[in-house]
């Protein structure tokens, strides 16, 4: 079995150690912790392309750089649902025609992550303005989500910065039991990693168990990376991938056998159970047995998480010859129009609709609550879609559960949570303690010199840095107006005492929770020289650097600090000074230094 490899421009010194590299270190050609500036193979965006265009033009952009690498798929909602949407769609269509973008897919073709799958190849670098761009990791791609401002920057410059993440290795053995599916495995792993501090890490899947997972299974696993908090997930370029592409030889990039990992886990697939995840502030995974008999009124199967033909076959097999429970509403959403046509050809559409389910068009509308509304009287909702979808449900007091297509289909028949196979007596073995929000007492002075020491405070959230309720009253376009409210949810003395050149030390998961851009913009405006943390939420990390707020992931520095130590950051010589100790900084591309020393991407 032949395997091809390739490398990207990164740290020159790293090339000497390339034979001990993880996948992401190889494809970005730099050791973990480095910050590289690269040109992706594909830049993906969807309905938000209209807003990306506005940012692009506002920043002085005229002609797209590398238009052949752009993939624009209109998939969020259905055709012409609102006047605003029609205007956005027409704006995108006009711009794509003007810029001669070849890979433009108009509405109703399908969800972008499914549509772009036909154009992927092992070893590609894929970025997209959607968090579930990580789905492409199933195809041996480095695939990550970026925001609208970053996408506009890519349209204008053709390149983007990335921090090379540390990697977690997951080895799969055995095979999944009957009635256990890839979505169960994805939720199982999500719960397992909950307290393993994997924020901004990469996941690699290894082992003979991987060969027993189809491409559809791998897409389901990679898709949930966004909810796990990791940077990306990736699968090897193996015979399964070669067969999918119709290649004789395996093509792609993979880790070396002597690669160094942040953490390693082994999962016997025969231990995995049908599981259900309750979605709330702290997601809770339980075995299906623990949730059985909970009455549910509505369900959704499909979309980018589990809307492939393999998923629809499972649903049709379960629903065939049966009727959905009276009062239960089940929606089924194919991931693309092509999948819908295949399902119709195989007779799956007739089976599903005759059982009483509603088959919706291939779009993200149901997940966003745009083209499909929750019915009155729904108290519990079960879905195959991921936890950052349909957020408004919790605000309306609706409990949301996530499970496999099989469990959702069985629940639709029974009207209460039911798994396809009963594995009673086998509890889910992982659980986590809720993270408690800490508030620093006014008498607890955390500032010494220019250092604010919150090194033992973990998961400082964005809403602690800037209250969510204030975002509708104070615009992020007025940074100075943000200053009096900074860090009030953590330390009420911070806003009145912070000075330019101050440094913040913090524990794990800095920037947790719902992303609030006011927090990063406010800290940058206050003149914070750097935030040095044990680990950071990946969304906040990128937002902060794009706003010109340096965030250093340096657990050794945080651990070494003693009260009264002076901290100095020397970007040019790549070192951090803590008292009489010196710590090396990883490689940082010169373009990224320019962002850090300026106002970010502005």
Region 231-243: mean pLDDT is 95
Whole-number Å distance between alpha carbons of 393 and 400: 7
**What is the tens place of the pLDDT at every residue in 439-497?**
888 889 999 999 999 999 999 999 999 999 999 999 999 999 999 999 999 999 999 99
> If 0-12 CB within 10 Å is exposed, 13-18 middle and 19+ buried, where does residue 16 land?
exposed
Give residue-wise pLDDT tens across range 175-212. 999 999 999 999 999 999 988 889 999 999 999 999 99
Q: Do domains 290-414 and 447-597 have the same CATH topology?
A: no
Identify any residues that bridge with 57 across adjacent strands, giving them in sequence order: none
The whole-angstrom separation of Cα 410 and Cα 50 is 40
**561 close to 505: Cβ distance less than 8 angstroms:** yes
Kindly report the pTM of this predicted structure: 0.92
- The string of pLDDT tens digits covering residues 390-436 is 555 666 678 899 999 999 999 999 999 999 999 887 889 987 666 66
Class of domain 447-597: alpha beta
Q: Say whether 167 sits in a helix, a strand or coil.
A: strand
For the domain made up of 290-414, the CATH class stated in words is alpha beta
Q: Which CATH number fits domain 3-172+199-262: 2.60.40.1220, 3.30.499.10, 3.30.70.1230, 3.40.50.300?
A: 3.30.499.10
3-state helix, strand, coil in the chain (%, to 5): 35, 20, 45
Please report which confidence band the pLDDT of residue 5 belongs to, taking 50, 70 and 90 as the band edges: very low
Q: Kindly indicate the confidence band of residue 7, based on its pLDDT and cuts at 50, 70 and 90.
A: very low
| Per-residue pLDDT reduced to its tens digit, 359-400 | 988 777 666 655 555 666 778 999 998 865 555 566 667 889
- Please report, for the chain, the start and end positions of each structural domain, with discontinuous segments joined by +: 3-172+199-262, 290-414, 447-597
- The Cβ of residue 258 has, within 10 Å, a number of other Cβ atoms equal to 8
Indicate the pairing of strand 380-383 with strand 298-302. Answer: parallel
**Is residue 253 scored above 80 in pLDDT?**
yes
Q: What gap in Å lies between CA 560 and CA 565, rounded to an integer?
A: 9
Residue 600 burial (C-beta neighbours within 10 Å; 0-12, 13-18, 19+)? buried
Dist CA 24 CA 434 (whole Å): 31
């Amino acid at each position: 079995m032949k395997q091809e490899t390739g490398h990207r421009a990164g740290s020159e010194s790293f090339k000497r150690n390339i034979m001990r590299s993880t996948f992401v270190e190889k494809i970005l050609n730099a050791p973990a912790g480095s910050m590289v500036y690269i040109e992706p193979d594909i830049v993906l965006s969807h309905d938000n392309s209209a807003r990306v265009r506005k940012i692009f033009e506002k920043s002085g952009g005229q002609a797209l750089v590398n238009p052949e690498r752009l993939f624009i798929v209109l998939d969020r909602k259905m055709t012409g649902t609102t006047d605003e949407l029609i205007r956005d769609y027409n704006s995108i269509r006009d711009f794509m025609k003007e810029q001669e973008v070849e890979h433009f897919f108009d509405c109703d073709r399908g969800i972008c992550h499914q549509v772009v799958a036909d154009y992927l190849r092992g070893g590609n670098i894929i970025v997209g303005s959607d968090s579930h761009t990580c789905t492409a990791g199933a195809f041996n791609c480095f695939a990550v989500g970026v925001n609208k401002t970053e996408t506009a920057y890519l349209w204008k410059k053709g390149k983007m910065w990335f921090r090379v993440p540390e990697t977690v290795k997951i080895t799969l053995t055995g095979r999944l039991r009957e009635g256990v599916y890839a979505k169960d495995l994805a939720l199982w792993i999500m719960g397992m990693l909950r307290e393993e501090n994997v924020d901004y890490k990469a996941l690699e899947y290894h082992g003979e168990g991987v060969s027993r997972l189809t491409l559809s299974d791998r897409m389901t696993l990679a898709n949930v990376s966004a909810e796990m908090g990791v940077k990306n997930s990736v699968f090897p370029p193996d015979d399964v991938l070669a067969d999918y592409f119709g290649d004789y030889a395996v093509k792609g990039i993979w880790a070396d056998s002597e690669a160094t990992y942040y953490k390693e886990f082994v999962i016997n697939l025969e231990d995995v159970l049908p599981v259900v995840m309750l979605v709330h502030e702290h997601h809770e995974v339980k075995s299906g047995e623990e949730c059985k008999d909970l009455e549910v009124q509505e369900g959704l199967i499909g979309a980018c998480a589990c809307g492939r033909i393999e998923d629809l076959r499972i649903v049709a097999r379960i629903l065939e010859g049966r009727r959905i429970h009276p009062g239960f509403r089940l929606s089924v959403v194919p991931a693309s129009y092509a999948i819908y046509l295949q399902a119709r050809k195989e007779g799956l559409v007739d089976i599903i609709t005759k059982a009483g389910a509603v088959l919706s068009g291939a779009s993200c509308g149901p997940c966003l609550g745009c083209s499909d509304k929750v019915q009155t009287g729904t108290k519990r909702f079960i879905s195959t879609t991921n936890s950052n979808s349909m957020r408004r449900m919790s605000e309306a007091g609706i409990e949301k559960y996530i499970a496999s297509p099989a469990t959702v289909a069985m629940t639709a028949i029974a009207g209460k949570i039911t798994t396809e196979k009963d594995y009673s007596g086998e509890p889910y073995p992982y659980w986590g303690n809720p993270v408690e929000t800490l508030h620093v007492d006014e008498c607890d002075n955390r500032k010494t010199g220019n250092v604010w020491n919150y090194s033992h405070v973990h998961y400082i959230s964005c809403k602690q840095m800037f209250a969510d309720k204030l975002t509708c009253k104070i615009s992020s376009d007025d940074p100075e107006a943000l200053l009096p409210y900074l860090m009030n949810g953590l330390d009420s003395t911070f806003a009145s005492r912070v000075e330019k050149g101050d440094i913040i030390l913090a524990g794990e998961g800095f920037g947790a929770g719902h992303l609030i851009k006011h927090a990063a913009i406010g800290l940058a405006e206050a003149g914070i020289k750097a935030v040095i943390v044990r680990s950071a939420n990946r969304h906040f990390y990128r937002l902060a650097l794009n706003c010109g707020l340096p965030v250093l992931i340096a657990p050794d520095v945080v651990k070494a600090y003693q009260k009264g130590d002076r901290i100095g950051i020397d970007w040019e010589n790549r070192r951090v000074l803590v008292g009489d100790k010196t710590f090396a900084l990883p490689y940082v591309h010169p373009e990224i230094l320019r962002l850090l020393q300026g106002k970010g991407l502005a």
